[in-house]
Amino acid sequence: MARILDGKRVRDQILDELRPRIETLRRGGRPPGLAVVLVGNDPASEIYVRGKVKACEELGIYSEQHTPPASISTTELAALVDSLNRRPEIDGILVQMPLPKHVDSRAVLLAVAPEKDVDGFHPLNVGHLVNGRPAPRACTPSGIMEMLRRYEIPVSGQRAVVVGRSDIVGKPMALLLLHAHATVTICHSRTSNLAGECRQADILVAAIGKAALVRGDFIKEGATVIDVGMNRITERAEAERIYGTSSEKLAELDRKGNLLLGDVHPLEVSARAGAYTPVPGGVGPLTIAMLMSNTVEAAERRLP
């Protein structure tokens, strides 16, 4: 029986470990401060931001939201970010993605001061990651490394395959695994014999954004499978293709109008893997936990 890797459990451990550090900062003069910039009214982004603000409130981190209209220009948004860079009580700045199409996302991310880049997306921080130097790390990959460490899953000397090459997950994930002494392969949409490459993995990270793409025959017997995917399906035919005649899942689709699904086939993974992260409840909770961790570390680094 495959072991389920519980992201909520790891999240709670991380947050509990942050509380005394936050209290020390408060006693030293002020709590850590996080500013979140949410442009426009994207419903999914609003949900994500609410979760981040709630986590700050529960931990005692000062937070504030800036909600400029979707019509804001790149220049205006960069100016807002620069004003946050100059405020000493703000330790971390998060610009919620995606931004409207007319906004130059790269220019806005570059406007964030590297020491306040708690998402770990600034090119300077990416460069530090490549060199193995201390700096904010991308939240989802660093959360996955915490998951592996806390469940005592060996990384050093293992073969790891990362499916997906995004700047947010795939590339930093591969670098973190490499720094932990894994032998790493990166796969993507143009990889030939994807299933064969994946079957070599002792640790398989699926982050390509396609529902149930990774099937049972992609998975080496006993491998650890980390599912980063967050896909919503709405078509009954697709649900039936994945879940068969599961009355529970089909009823959930009828009730909600959609189903949340990872990049790994949810029924086939448990038959092959030694351990895996479910969707939901696996990787998702770790992302916000590591954002909180990056914010606290940023505040600690800025102590006089």
Q: Which residues contact 135 (CB under 8 A, 6 or more apart)?
A: 114, 120, 124, 125, 128, 129
Name residue 147's amino acid. Answer: M
Q: In the annotation, is 200 catalytic?
A: no
HSE, CB side, 13 Å, CA atoms: give it for residue 121.
21
52, 116, 171, 249: the active-site residue? 52
Q: How many residues does the chain have?
A: 304
In sequence order, the β-bridge partners of residue 247 are: none
96 is catalytic: yes
Given 91, 96, 117, 220, the catalytic residue: 96
Active site residue: 91, 116, 117, 119, which one? 119
Q: Would you call 119 a catalytic residue per the annotation?
A: yes
Residues known to be catalytic: 52, 96, 119
